Amino acid sequence: MSSLIERDRASLWHPYAPASPTLPLWEVEAADGVALRLRDEQGRTHEVLDAMSSWWSVIHGYRNPIMDAAVQRQLTSFSHVMFGGLTHQPAVELAESLLSMVPGEPGRRLERVFLADSGSISVEVALKLAVQFQTATGRPKRQRFLTIRGGYHGDTFAAMGVCDPVDGMHSSFPGLLAANVFAPRPPAAATATPAGIADWQADVERLASQHSDELAAIIVEPLLQGAGGMFTYPAECVRILRTIADHYGLLLILDEIATGFGRTGELFAADHAGVVPDIMCVGKALTGGYLTLAATLCTGDVAKAVSSGRAGALLHGPTFMANPLACAAAIASLGILATGAWREDVERIGTGLAEGLAPASMLDAVADVRTFGAVGVIELRDAVDVTAVTRAAVEHGVWVRPFRNLVYAMPPYISSAEDVGVMTSGMVAAIKEATTQAVLA
């Protein structure tokens, strides 16, 4: 009988991986709180702390009793029903909760929620909404998008089309991705100067003005670009994008799929900038990492225009739209956030990450160390040896998933100061070992 990992290798795909990956795999035997119990290919078990929150999502930890109870309660009622012609309490309650917590101001308020089944799909819906809005308001030629370089918005085709044109997957699907308009990346938060921001603003304005008759919307991740490079930029730049969007009749789409629900120190990254988008995407931590769910929110103006257009409807409707189990998990997660304890948690974790990762900046292999909210990033000078760093980190009791030249952490909010200490010292030790090995080899 072959091992589970061998059976996996014979039958499954993993994210961005070849069919027979040479990278190591670990079997998850158990997950509880911040901890995972992993079994490696030699059959050894490892207790590790999850510094990734399973890709930003498991903010309240594994087997959280409140989350478990909410999903179990919904399970005894019903697990799924179609959303065409039917509704249910979890969907309505979730929409109301979401709308009550997102950014808003008197002239601009997010008033309507589309429940999608993943982040990428919520981005597809956001892009559709923008194009349908422009068509409905008499500007049918506006079908392209303006974005900044270094972004990541998902893996479906329209979403890929607004990801970074170099680091994204554009070169693999040249004939299939829409030709969008890419502005430079804003200056980095740590080193931005007023003059640098002004230069960047001039570049964006030039592009917006050149292409205004074919642009439907601006789409960006506010303040923190995640999978595109864990890059932070000033809140001022989001305010500039809001002004430019308004000036040229573009909608502003903020993709808060990674940044939403407290991770950056405010409930939404847009709150740092005081900017209200016309369309906003959330996902990842929405269900506390329990089930797959995302949402696209839009203003009343956008909803009204789209609904009165020639199509007379928003043209999207996934089979598992508003899945009740996922909605129940999301309501429970938002309920935990509503206690407000996340703010202290994020602060404690942010402090711990800054202190614990600081020693990494002394290493020759390290180019930069930065933190933002409960996100800590070590940027190496060269591409990470993912296998070496991951293996070494596991030996030191930490689960990380580096990419490109980045080793980073975004721990679950329930992580104690001690947990964060274990994560950071494990990360620093792993980088030290992996980069020394690389030099010796």
Ligand X SMILES: *Cc1c(COP(=O)(O)O)cnc(C)c1O
35-39 vs 27-32, strand pairing mode = antiparallel
Q: How far is the CB of 221 from ligand X (least distance, A)?
A: 5
Cα 205 → chain centroid: 27
Residue 284 is a catalytic residue: yes
Q: What angle do CA 138, 318, 314 make, to 5 degrees?
A: 15
Q: What SS3 state is found at 332? A: helix
Q: How far is the CB of 60 from ligand X (least distance, A)?
A: 18
Residue 179's nearest CA partner among 143, 212, 204 is 143
Residue 152 is a catalytic residue: yes
Cα–Cα distance, 8 to 5 (Å, whole number): 5
**Amino acid letter, 162:** V
Q: How far is the CB of 307 from ligand X (least distance, A)?
A: 26
Catalytic residue among 50, 117, 164, 255: 255
Give the residue with the Cβ less far from ligand X, 227 or 336.
227
Give the residue with the Cβ less far from ligand X, 33 or 154.
154
Buried b (16+ CB within 10 A) or exposed e, 379-408: bbeeebbbebbbbbbbebbbbbbbebbbbb
Give the residue with the Cβ less far from ligand X, 135 or 333.
333
Cα 23 → chain centroid: 24
Q: How far is the CB of 259 from ligand X (least distance, A)?
A: 7
Q: How far is the CB of 220 from ligand X (least distance, A)?
A: 9
Catalytic residue among 278, 284, 290, 432: 284
According to DSSP, residue 28 is labeled E
Cα–Cα distance, 101 to 336 (Å, whole number): 13
The encoded tokens of residue 417 equal: 């100061």
Torsions phi, psi for 30 (to 5 deg):
-160, 155
Residue nearest to ligand X (CB): 119
Q: How far is the CB of 148 from ligand X (least distance, A)?
A: 13
Report yes or no: 287 and 98 within 8 Å, Cβ to Cβ: no
Residue 102's nearest CA partner among 300, 252, 280 is 280
Helix or strand run (H / E) with residue 269: helix 269-273
Sheet hosting strand 366-372, strand order edge to edge:
366-372, 375-380, 406-409
Q: Please list the residues that pair with 109 across neighbouring strands.
A: 104
Q: How far is the CB of 380 from ligand X (least distance, A)?
A: 21
Give the residue with the Cβ less far from ligand X, 221 or 379.
221
Catalytic residue among 50, 62, 152, 290: 152
Residue 286's nearest CA partner among 119, 46, 83 is 119
Report yes or no: 93 and 332 within 8 Å, Cβ to Cβ: no
Residue 16 is a catalytic residue: yes
Q: How far is the CB of 58 from ligand X (least distance, A)?
A: 14
Q: Tell me whether residue 210 is exposed, middle or buried, using C-beta atoms within 10 angstroms of its C-beta: 0 to 12, 13 to 18, 19 or more.
A: exposed
Residue ranges binding ligand X (CB under 6 A): 118-120, 123, 152-154, 221, 226-227, 255, 257-258, 283-284, 294
**Amino acid letter, 177:** L
Cα–Cα distance, 150 to 227 (Å, whole number): 9
Active site residues: 16, 152, 255, 284
